[in-house]
Amino acid sequence: MRTDFAFVGVMLVTAALLMGVALIAAALLRPKKPNKAKLSTYECGMETVGDTWVQFRVQYYVLALVFVVFDIEAILLFPIAVAFNSLTFFAVANVILFIVVLLIALLYAWRKGALDWE
Amino acid sequence: MTVQQVLFIVISLVVLGAALFVVTTRNLFRAALMMMLAFFGIAGLFVLLEIGLFAVAQVLIYIGAISILVIFAVMLTRGMQGMVPRNSQAIGAAVTAAIIFAVLLLILGPLRVTIDLARWPVISLFAGNASPREVGGIAWTPADRAIPPVPETYIADFGRALVDLNQYLLPFLLIAFLVDVVLAGAIFIARQRRPAEVIEERRLRAEEDAEEAEAMRRASASPALPEGAVASAVDH
Amino acid sequence: MNPINDLLKILSDFVAGIVSGIFAFSPFLADLVTMGLAAVILCTFAALSFMGLTYVERKVVARIQDRLGPNQAGPFGLLQPIADGIKMFTKEDTTPANADRWVYNLAPLVIAIFALTTYAVLPFAPGVVGTNLNVGVFYLIAIGSGSIVAILMAGWGSNNKYALLGAFRTVAQLVGYEVPMLLNVLPVVMMAGSMSLVDIINKQTTLDGNPGIPFIVFFPLSALVFLISGIAETGRSPFDLLEAESEIVAGFHVEYSGMKFALFFLGEYVNALAVAFVFSTFFLGGYAGPILPPYVWLLLKAALIFFIFMWLRGTLPRIRIDQMHNLNWKFFVPVSIVHLVVVMALMKLFVTDPAQAEAFGGILVAPIVQAVILFVASMTVLLVSLAIAARRARVLRLQEEAILEQRRAENLAAARA
Amino acid sequence: MQNVLNGIPLWWYLVVSSALFCIGLYGTLARKNAIALLMGVELMLNAANINLLAFWRYLAPDTAGGLAFAAFVLVVAAAEAAVGLALVISVYRTTRSIDPETLDQMKL
């Protein structure tokens, strides 16, 4: 049984090759008769108005921000979870403190309306 | 050449090429994508270092989180797409970076400058029998000791060290508070203010400005100054 | 070795033996070819299951909704996937004139690659696993972020407002539901003491003196939240608002057709199947089970989970985007955090290992007792949080109704005047 | 030479990381867009991380020091990106510009 990343690399390359072959085969098989209407941007048949840069709401950024906070938490908590059975009571109390502090962050974001999707 | 050497060279070239693309392109979205490629390549370097935990953490944090933030920010500041990529100090920056790279290469790499006052500085390839360099009392090139393997339990060891009072417990807890502050601050800065709040803010600012102007007027109108000075100040 | 129980193991050893016989001159080359073959087999398995699943899903959902489903191509419509495949291969594929060509064309490739790479760490039977990484759990979650990149690439590369909007909504949903997934895998990792998927399965068997209780008994709340987040992660109904045809015209892949669209579709199905496999591994004991061979057990469990996916798709209406975000950030995440704290405290308090009890203190209990304690605690957290959520929802609904009532009265008064 | 890991000596990693650091430095100093500037900072932090982990692997894999520091760098990089980009977005909303050279007022 392998335990290294070599297979992951091989898997990445193999998947890329197989899918690339599928794409190329499709490109060879399919007809190619482009015209201006086909190549225009699809908007249910309407003419495109304005450029693609519609105004985005900062809400997306704020949600990504909260996500980043929990991602950070995860990367630190996973090694601790692996070592969980050999932790002292004191250590576990500190981990719980860590999680509770992050819960406070979440509650703050909630209070500030960062989690509301209006 | 071993396979790992070939892989290392290929991955390094990809990382450095992607990084160069990031700092030179005009298209910010592509820059962000190339930054992801560079991060992915760095994860590959960590795999070559046999630290799977950080290879995966690199992908999770840098590609899955930080790059997403960057792309969202690129989209939110959309008016800035066609900007000239370089500012006025670009040449100076390039020279600085090149000089620092040369110095780092001389310190870290196999190249050595032997300073001989009688001749020009001679760059010679670092030979195996030259004096070993030391970091923290451990000779690291050329080593006279084999590299120990990574322990099987390094993830658990790392986890234990994070919550060990004698090791990294304090920074670990500080991270929780740091992240709290980051979240609070970033939400406060980036939050979309409601129209009512914006109006209130403008009113406060206008009041402040008025107060300031009033204070200035009062200061300039103080009797210590002659009339002419006030008039000229008003003229300006 | 039992030839039926260890069929996969015997076959893979056989192939590896042949390969190393052919490439006897270079062990490295033999290794590489073996890995390449395994990778090709895994990719083919994923692609074939994608074809089969499209048919099965259409049939099952049709039955649930009292329709017939595909029944024209071949007996019972069995050739439908092949017909679909031919269509995908020969359909004209347009690249919008002002698309960012490189980004646009690479996006489907990236999503398919990352979806297929998930299978590298899944254990199918004892000893039959692509690679048993000691960071397997982490790897699975990290690979998921690859599809986020692909979605952003697709949305941006199409140079279409709706594609970009759809991509943004999708990414907001995917990153959001990654958080409860992370938080609910943590109890499993704590219990198994390892991030390797094989170790997690072993902990749920009777090997090495383990009690042989699947983790769903220990952490029912984690299992439930993980399953729902998994559905949301793969963008399946009822969380398919990001490709709602009637709202944002298929979301981020609106401009794609032909083979590129097929790759997005493949990514979605392969990811959904991977979630089914991962859920069976984390919470149902993976390939562990009595009498039947291990791979059959794994397939049965995964099929059960996938059937639940199809069932939900056939019955539930699509939810709104604000409901989707509220469900995640205001229910799953806080509840998961509270659950995590409770589980941590209880697992430290009640230990099953005598050596651990001696070294770090704690009350020594039998594994069954620990399971019961954790089950009760987990269910309590679940029920209490559900009760709180229900009460809160009732308050909100009453408020809304009061506002509506008031408005109606005002309108009536205005009409009278 | 004994101090090679799979045929790769330590200084290879150090050279790659210093090259990455200098590219990031150039990006930080020379870009006209505040977001691109932050990307340069991220590259520099990554270079530092390569260094930390390479030294850990070659010199002291039996301790947790290098891993802990690398993890803290990851966290700080995420925090820096979050706050920095929030600032950039906020500045863009008020001034419609994120060119650091034009943002020279004390009060927006």
Name residues whose C-beta falls within 8 Å of residue D104's C-beta, 6 or more positions apart in sequence. Answer: none
Give contacts of A70 with chain C, Cβ < 8 Å.
Answer: 179, 182-183, 333
Please give the pLDDT value at position D90: 83
CA–CA distance, A35 with C199 (Å, rounded to integer): 57
Q: Is B158 on the interface with A (CB under 8 A)?
A: yes
Contact yes or no for A26 and C88 at CB 8 A: yes
* Model pLDDT for residues D12-26, shown as the tens digit of each residue: 888 899 999 999 999
Rounded to the nearest 10 degrees, what angle do helices B67-76 and B28-48 cross at? 180
Query: Which of helix, strand or coil describes residue C364?
Result: strand
Contact yes or no for C141 and B60 at CB 8 A: yes
C417: closest CA of chain B, how far (Å): 32
Q: How many CB pairs below 8 A link B and D? A: 272
Q: Is C298 on the interface with B (CB under 8 A)?
A: no
Q: Is D76 on the interface with A (CB under 8 A)?
A: no
Please give the pLDDT value at position C206: 79
Q: What is the mean pLDDT of residues C391-396?
A: 90
Give contacts of B57 with chain A, Cβ < 8 Å.
Answer: 75
| Residue in A59, A71, A75 closest to B192 by CB | A59
Q: How many CB pairs below 8 A link B and C? A: 56
* Model pLDDT for residues B174-214, shown as the tens digit of each residue: 999 998 899 888 888 877 666 666 777 778 888 888 888 88
Q: Where are the beta strands (DSSP E) in C253-361?
A: 350-351
Contact yes or no for D75 and A68 at CB 8 A: no
Contact yes or no for C334 and A106 at CB 8 A: yes
Please give the pLDDT value at position B236: 45
Please give the pLDDT value at position B126: 46
Question: Of A54-63, B55-64, C298-307, which range is least confident?
Answer: A54-63
> Which residue from B minimizes the CA distance to C132?
B52
Please give the pLDDT value at position B145: 62
Q: Is C145 on the interface with B (CB under 8 A)?
A: yes
Q: Where are the beta strands (DSSP E) in C94-151?
A: 123-125, 128-129
Position A117 in a domain:
no
Of the candidates B223, B225, B224, B220, the one whose C-alpha atom is nearest the C-alpha of residue B235 is B220
Please give the pLDDT value at position B80: 60
| Residue in C131, C141, C189 closest to A7 by CB | C131
| Residue in D75, D86, D89 closest to A72 by CB | D75
| Residue in A85, A88, A106 closest to C333 by CB | A106
CA dihedral (D82, D84, D90, D91) in degrees, to 10, reads -170
B74: closest CA of chain C, how far (Å): 11
CA dihedral (B76, B77, B82, B84) in degrees, to 10, reads -140
| Residue in C139, C145, C168 closest to B63 by CB | C145
> Which residue from C minimizes the CA distance to B54?
C135
> Which residue from B minimizes the CA distance to C156?
B29
| Residue in A2, A14, A77 closest to C43 by CB | A14
Which residues of chain B are modeled with pLDDT < 50?
Answer: 123-132, 135-138, 142, 225, 228-236
CA–CA distance, A111 with A66 (Å, rounded to integer): 13
CA–CA distance, D47 with D23 (Å, rounded to integer): 10
CA dihedral (C209, C211, C215, C220) in degrees, to 10, reads -160
- Chain B residues with CB under 8 Å of a chain C CB are 3, 29-30, 33, 36, 52-53, 56-57, 59-60, 63-65, 67-68, 71-72, 75, 152, 155-156
> Which residue from B minimizes the CA distance to A55?
B76
Residue to substitute from D75, D85, D90, interface A, most A β-carbons within 10 A: D75
Give contacts of A81 with chain B, Cβ < 8 Å.
Answer: 159
Position A1 in a domain:
no
> Which residue from A minimizes the CA distance to C32?
A10
Please give the pLDDT value at position B120: 54
Count of other CB atoms within 10 angstroms of residue A3: 16
Any idea what the CATH number is for the domain that residue A99 is in? Answer: 1.20.58.1610
Contact yes or no for D68 and B39 at CB 8 A: no
C142: closest CA of chain B, how far (Å): 5
Give contacts of D74 with chain A, Cβ < 8 Å.
Answer: 72, 75
Contact yes or no for A23 and C260 at CB 8 A: yes
Query: Which of helix, strand or coil describes residue B113?
Result: strand
Position A75 in a domain:
yes
* Model pLDDT for residues C98-111, shown as the tens digit of each residue: 788 888 889 999 99
A74: closest CA of chain B, how far (Å): 9
Residue to substitute from D13, D17, D28, D35, interface B, most B β-carbons within 10 A: D35
Contact yes or no for A118 and C322 at CB 8 A: yes
Check whether the bond before C126 is cis (ω within 30° of 0). Answer: no
* Model pLDDT for residues C313-349, shown as the tens digit of each residue: 888 888 888 888 888 999 999 999 999 999 999 988 8
Long-range own/partner contacts, residues B19-25 (CB < 8 A, 24 or more apart): B19/D20, B19/D23, B19/D24, B19/D27, B19/D43, B20/D23, B22/D23, B22/D27, B22/D36, B22/D39, B22/D40, B22/D43, B23/D23, B23/D24, B23/D26, B23/D27, B23/D30, B23/D31, B23/D36, B23/D39, B23/D40, B23/D43, B24/B85, B25/B85
- For B1-78, CATH gives 1.20.120.1200
Q: Looking at this protein, which amino acid is placed at residue B204?
A: L
Say yes or no: ipTM exceeds 0.85: yes
**Domain ranges across chain B:** 1-78, 196-235
Name which residue leads in pLDDT, D108 or D4: D4
With cut-offs at 50, 70 and 90, classify the pLDDT of residue A46.
low
Position A90 in a domain:
yes
- Using CB atoms, which chains have 3+ pairs under 8 A with A? B, C, D
In the structure, do chain D and chain B come into contact, i.e. share 3 or more CB pairs under 8 Å? yes
Contact yes or no for A8 and C120 at CB 8 A: yes
Question: What's the total number of domains in chain A?
Answer: 1
Residue C278 has pLDDT above 90, yes or no: yes
Name residues whose C-beta falls within 8 Å of residue D53's C-beta, 6 or more positions apart in sequence. Answer: B46, B49, B51, B54, D66, D67, D70
Position A30 in a domain:
yes
Q: What is the mean pLDDT of chain C?
A: 86
In the numeric block, the tokens 């495949």 are attached to: C85
Q: Is A89 on the interface with B (CB under 8 A)?
A: no
Please give the pLDDT value at position B235: 44
Give contacts of C90 with chain A, Cβ < 8 Å.
Answer: 26, 29-31
* Model pLDDT for residues D34-86, shown as the tens digit of each residue: 888 899 999 999 999 999 998 888 888 888 888 999 999 999 999 999 999 98
Name which residue leads in pLDDT, C111 or C356: C111
* Model pLDDT for residues C18-28, shown as the tens digit of each residue: 888 888 888 88
Give contacts of C348 with chain A, Cβ < 8 Å.
Answer: 87, 89, 92
- Chain A residues with CB under 8 Å of a chain D CB are 58, 61, 65, 68-69, 71-72, 75-76
Q: What is the pTM of this model?
A: 0.88
- The residue count of chain D comes to 108
Question: Would you state the structure tokens that stand for residue C201, as one six-digit string?
Answer: 């399965």
CA–CA distance, C67 with C70 (Å, rounded to integer): 9
B88: closest CA of chain A, how far (Å): 28
Please give the pLDDT value at position B233: 45
Count Cα neighbours of B65 within 13 Å in the Cβ-side half-sphere.
34
- The residue count of chain A comes to 118
Domains and CATH numbers, chain D: 4-95 (1.10.287.3510)
With cut-offs at 50, 70 and 90, classify the pLDDT of residue C147.
confident
Name which residue leads in pLDDT, C76 or B201: C76
